[in-house]
Amino acid sequence: MSAHPPSALLNLPAYPADSYAVTADRLKALLATRCDVLLIQAEALLALEAAAASMARPGLLAVNIVTSPYGAYFGAWLRRGGADVVELVAEAGQPIAIEAVRRALEALPRLDLLSVVHGEAANGALNPLGEIVALARARGALTVVDAVASFGAHPLAVDALGIDIVAIGPQKALGGPAALSALAVSDRGWAHIATVAQSAPSLLSLHDLKQTWIDTGRGVLPGTPSAMEFWALEAALDRVEAEGIEGLVARHQQAARATRAGLRALGIAPWIASDASASALVTAAPVPEGVEAEALIAAASRFGVALGRGFGDIADRLVRLDHTGARAAFTPVLANVVAYGAALTTFGRAADLGRAAEAVTAVYAEGR
């Protein structure tokens, strides 16, 4: 073992103060939005808690769509701020049905805010974002979208849809660092945030961030920024810009198509039945009756393939095939599908590995 391992990570130059705004503008360009873009110096979960804390106020009537534990957190944060929250909970591990949203909204006398996760990394579900936001906008509501696990893998027309707050992170489709995130906030969003009383300055306050960041010309971030994270974000943006956001989305879409085709050729129905409701970052696949999820994952790991564990109450019923960022490519997609199939056969389940490999290959042979 080396006595003094290389400390390349500790010897980075400081991140130039005038680069924060440049970097924020590059994210803004990827989002193709007129919204203000705020850099958040922590993982995207903090961005989401900050969005909730900054939007909630007593009497606010909110519909919060819950398709994963993160969605449930969002509702709790809104309630902590005094909001009245109607929670629409989807079937476990499934996207919300648009009809359920429609009915819920019709049943309400008014709607102040709607919050929804676009794509779920936990189960591979994709909510019908455009339709949901349109329903909310038709009621005049503010909309908050968690796009952390969809941005870069699915189209996201922030301004055209009329989203007021969208949270993104570079660690998913963008293949970037994890200890940074960003929020885009519309003028409507800011106008509402200004009406929310603040009892103290806080890292959860978008109002504070606006004052120190936007209103001052974007020069001051709270605390000591991590140069490493910002340099890594730049490197990720270099790569994404070279590929183009459309290319990045197309590459993820292709990975999802190939994974789903591969699963079906194995003889397995993907966890999310409808292609239109499937995430392009991860594809969930069922754990068969009588098999332990951990045992299935262990069987795949013997091929060097890391299947992801589920979360929450469906944790034992699915595993996740990851095709995020650099993994949105033929090589990992093929290995994921074949190793999942091989793991199934370990437990006596039928799985046609050959047909699965052919199906994955056929999707990539077609091109994007």
Residues 162-191 that bind its own copies (CB under 8 A): 169, 171, 175-180
* 61, 73, 97, 315: which one binds its own copies (CB under 8 A): 73
Provide the minimum distance between the beta carbon of 4 and its own copies in the complex, in angstroms, as a whole number.
7
Nearest C-alpha neighbor of 347 from the set 305, 283, 306, 299 = 299
Judged by CB under 8 A, which of 231, 250, 286, 315 binds its own copies?
231
CB atoms within 10 A of CB 199: 5
Choose between 133 and 357: whose C-beta lies nearer to its own copies: 357
For 225, counting Cβ atoms within 10 Å of its Cβ (0-12 exposed, 13-18 middle, 19+ buried), the class is middle
Told to check if 367 binds its own copies by CB under 8 A, we report yes
Q: Which of residues 210-229 bind its own copies (CB under 8 A)?
A: 222-229
Residues 33-72: x/- map of binding to its own copies (CB under 8 A)?
--------xxxxxx--x-----------------------
Dig out the tokens for 250 from the structure. 């197309």
Q: Which is nearer to its own copies, 198 or 274 (CB)?
A: 198
Choosing from 263, 307, 319, 339, the residue that interacts with its own copies (CB under 8 A) is 339
Q: Which of 78, 287 has the CB closer to its own copies?
A: 78
**Which one-letter amino acid corresponds to residue 23?**
T
Residue 272 per-residue DSSP state: S
Phi, psi of 27 (to 5 degrees): -65, -40
Residue selected from 212, 234, 267, 309 as contacting its own copies according to rule CB under 8 A: 234
* Contact assessment for residue 51 and residue 165, using Cβ atoms and an 8 Å cutoff: yes
Instruction: Pick out residues in 193-212 that bind its own copies (CB under 8 A).
Output: 199-204
DSSP-derived secondary structure for 147-167: -TTTBTTB---HHHHT-SEEE
How far apart CA 236 and CA 229 sit, in angstroms, is: 10
Of residues 81-140, those binding its own copies (CB under 8 A):
none
CB atoms within 10 A of CB 58: 10
Site for its own copies in 238-297 (CB under 8 A): 238-239, 241-242
Query: Considering beta carbons, is residue 11 or 195 the nearer one to its own copies?
Result: 11
User: Segment contacting its own copies (CB under 8 A): 96-104, 105-113, 275-283, 338-346?
Assistant: 338-346
How many residues make contact with its own copies (CB under 8 A)? Answer: 85
Name residues whose C-beta falls within 8 Å of residue 227's C-beta, 6 or more positions apart in sequence: 12, 13, 14, 15
User: How near is the Cβ of 102 to its own copies at its closest, in Å?
Assistant: 28
Q: Smallest gap, in angstroms, from Cβ of residue 252 to its own copies?
A: 14
Span 4-23, contacts to its own copies by CB under 8 A = 4-13, 16, 19, 22
Can you list the alpha helix ranges (DSSP code H) found in 56-115? 69-80, 98-106
CB of 330 to its own copies, least distance (A): 4
Residues in the chain, total: 368
Whichever of 7 and 195 has its CB closer to its own copies, that residue is: 7
The tokens 């262990």 sit on which residue? 298
- Choosing from 105, 145, 282, 305, the residue that interacts with its own copies (CB under 8 A) is 305
CB-based contact 238:300 (threshold 8 Å): no
Query: To the nearest whole angstrom, how small is the minimum distance from the Cβ of residue 338 to its own copies?
Result: 6
- From the number of C-beta atoms within 10 Å of its C-beta (0-12, 13-18, 19+), residue 61 rates as middle
